[in-house]
């Protein structure tokens, strides 16, 4: 275990200062998305790019995941993929709820049954 | 064993680690358990964020615009999301000082570890303080878990649940960091374990709190 420990723990402090600065810059960028009022797909794409970059650097460098063995990396990072299924199912469900609400709650006096 | 675990790489390493007659994760048990706890916490926060997505997508009322709800007026200037931006930078800074504390822990520089951990805890406490300010501002404006004057009623329940649960994690983290810092300072860990791995484990928790904020910032405040 000692070889592993040596590999994962002896980085110069400057590594962390660089990542710290990088996270500052990325946060500033994501704040700019709101400040300059980007909308729709441009906004969502930029938000997601900066979010995943920040999350990636925090997990890989600050949490030392980059230097862990593959057994631990996969045990921790693969299970959250299941969340994509949850997100997919819930967005289908939300769309359906929105549709029924729009039909039955918003325009109760609108003509129905003509299509 | 014909080969030592250090020689095997890639997917062969996974097979090697999982099928050999030995412990699977070659890390201290505390670290493996902290990672597994964080994995479970990932699922809790993901459930909150997914339910937020569901109610925001399904509501037929307009969702309050976070950029305006969380704007601050300072010296006559109307600045969107100012407090949230400051909170974000503070939490990132606390992660920076924590990462350095872990690094000095492995160099055995106890004095620096203690000071950097205290700085981290101070950043965390100021983050919670700002969150208290934000909550009281919104409560004053009439935001409640069951409704608000700006639009869709679900906004309040999502806001209080998600930021509240995160704030609870930060508060618990501050206490956790102070306890670990005290034990580093008193020599408790060096005496008992001969190393400062507990600092790295506390660091994992703290970075995770920062990580969750990255997702809350993106999905709740910016989206």
Q: Is position A25 within any domain?
A: yes
Please tell me the predicted confidence (pLDDT) of residue B3.
Answer: 53
Please tell me the predicted confidence (pLDDT) of residue B7.
Answer: 72
Please tell me the predicted confidence (pLDDT) of residue A1.
Answer: 41
Cβ proximity of B57 and A92 under 8 Å: no
Q: Is position A8 within any domain?
A: yes
How close B86 gets to chain A, by Cα (Å)? 10
Please tell me the predicted confidence (pLDDT) of residue A105.
Answer: 81
Q: Reply yes or no on whether the pLDDT at A113 is more than 90.
A: no
Q: Is position A101 within any domain?
A: no
List, for residues B8-57, the tens digit of each pLDDT value.
Answer: 888 888 888 888 888 889 899 999 999 999 999 999 999 999 999 999 99
pLDDT confidence tier of residue A112, bands split at 50, 70 and 90 = low
Q: Is position A105 within any domain?
A: no
Q: Reply yes or no on whether the pLDDT at A34 is more than 70.
A: yes
Q: Reply yes or no on whether the pLDDT at A3 is more than 60.
A: no
Structural domains of chain B, ranges and CATH numbers in brackets: 10-222 (1.20.120.80)
Q: Is position A48 within any domain?
A: yes
- Which positions in chain A touch B208 (Cβ < 8 Å)? 63
Above pLDDT 70, what percent of chain B?
97
Among candidate residues B99, B74, B101, the one with its CA nearest the CA of residue B85 = B74
Interval A16-28 mean pLDDT: 94
Across the interface, whether the CB atoms of A93 and B43 are under 8 A apart is answered no
Rounded to an integer, what is the distance from CA B147 to the centroid of its chain? 28
Q: Is position A27 within any domain?
A: yes
Please tell me the predicted confidence (pLDDT) of residue A35.
Answer: 86
B100: which DSSP letter? H
Q: What is the pTM of this model?
A: 0.90
Model ipTM? 0.90
List, for residues B176-188, the tens digit of each pLDDT value.
Answer: 999 999 999 999 9
- DSSP string covering B123-183: HHHHHHHHHHHHHHHHHHTT-BTTB-TTS-THHHHHHHHHHHHHHHHHHHHHHHHHHHHHH
Residue of A18, A72, A96, A97 to mutate, interface with B, max B Cβ within 10 Å:
A72
A79 at the B interface (CB within 8 A)? yes
Nearest to B81 among A20, A31, A90 (CB): A31
- Which positions in chain A touch B32 (Cβ < 8 Å)? 72
- Which positions in chain B touch A17 (Cβ < 8 Å)? 96
Residue of A43, A62, A97 to mutate, interface with B, max B Cβ within 10 Å:
A62
Size of interface A-B (CB pairs under 8 A): 154
Using CA atoms in the order B172, B176, B181, B183, what is the torsion angle rounded to 10 degrees?
150
Q: Is position A65 within any domain?
A: yes
Mean pLDDT (chain A, rounded): 86
Interval B116-121 mean pLDDT: 97
Write down the H helix ranges in chain B. 10-19, 29-58, 66-69, 82-107, 110-140, 154-185, 188-192, 197-216
List, for residues B71-111, the tens digit of each pLDDT value.
Answer: 888 877 788 888 999 999 999 999 999 999 999 998 889 99
List, for residues B158-176, the tens digit of each pLDDT value.
Answer: 999 999 999 999 999 999 9
Please tell me the predicted confidence (pLDDT) of residue A111.
Answer: 54
Q: Is position A85 within any domain?
A: no
**What span, in angstroms and rounded, lies between the C-alpha atoms of A66 and A19?**
13
Domain count, chain A: 1
**Residue B100 φ/ψ region, left for φ over 0, alpha for ψ in the -120 to 50 degree band, beta for the rest:** alpha
List, for residues A40-90, the tens digit of each pLDDT value.
Answer: 899 999 999 999 999 999 999 999 999 999 999 999 999 999 999 999 999
Q: Which residue of B has its CA nearest to A46?
A: B218
List, for residues B198-208, the tens digit of each pLDDT value.
Answer: 999 999 999 99
Please tell me the predicted confidence (pLDDT) of residue B4.
Answer: 60
A105 at the B interface (CB within 8 A)? yes
Across the interface, whether the CB atoms of A16 and B96 are under 8 A apart is answered yes
pLDDT confidence tier of residue A2, bands split at 50, 70 and 90 = very low
Domain that holds residue A51: 2-76
């Amino acid at each position: 275990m000692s070889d592993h420990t040596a590999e994962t723990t002896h980085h110069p402090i400057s590594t962390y200062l660089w990542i710290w600065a990088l996270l500052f810059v990325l946060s500033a960028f994501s704040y700019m998305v709101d400040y300059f009022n980007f909308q729709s797909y441009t906004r969502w794409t930029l938000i997601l790019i900066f979010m995943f970059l920040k999350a990636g650097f925090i997990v890989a460098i600050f949490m030392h995941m980059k230097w862990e063995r593959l057994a631990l990396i996969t045990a921790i990072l693969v299970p959250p993929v299941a969340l994509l299924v949850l997100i997919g199912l819930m967005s289908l469900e939300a769309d359906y709820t929105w549709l029924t609400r729009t039909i039955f709650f918003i325009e109760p006096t609108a003509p129905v049954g003509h299509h | 064993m014909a080969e030592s675990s250090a020689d095997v790489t890639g997917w062969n390493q996974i097979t090697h680690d999982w099928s050999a007659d030995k412990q699977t994760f070659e890390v201290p048990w505390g670290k493996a358990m902290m990672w597994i706890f964080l994995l479970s916490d990932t699922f809790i926060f993901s459930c909150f964020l997914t339910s937020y997505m569901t109610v925001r997508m399904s509501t037929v009322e307009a969702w309050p615009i976070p950029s305006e709800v969380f704007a601050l007026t300072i010296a006559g200037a109307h600045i969107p999301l100012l407090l949230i931006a400051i909170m974000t930078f503070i939490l990132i800074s606390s992660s920076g000082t924590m990462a350095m504390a872990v690094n000095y822990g492995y160099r055995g520089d106890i004095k620096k570890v203690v000071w950097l951990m205290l700085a981290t805890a101070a950043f965390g406490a100021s983050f919670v303080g700002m969150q208290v300010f934000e909550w009281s501002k919104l409560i004053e404006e009439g935001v409640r878990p069951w409704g608000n004057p700006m639009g869709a009623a679900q906004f309040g329940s999502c806001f209080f649940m998600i930021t509240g649960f995160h704030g609870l994690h930060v508060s618990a983290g501050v206490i956790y960091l102070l306890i670990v810092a005290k034990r580093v300072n008193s020599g408790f860990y060096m005496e008992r374990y001969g190393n400062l791995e507990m600092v790295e484990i506390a660091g994992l928790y703290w970075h995770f709190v920062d990580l969750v904020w990255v997702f809350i910032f993106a999905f709740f405040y910016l989206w």
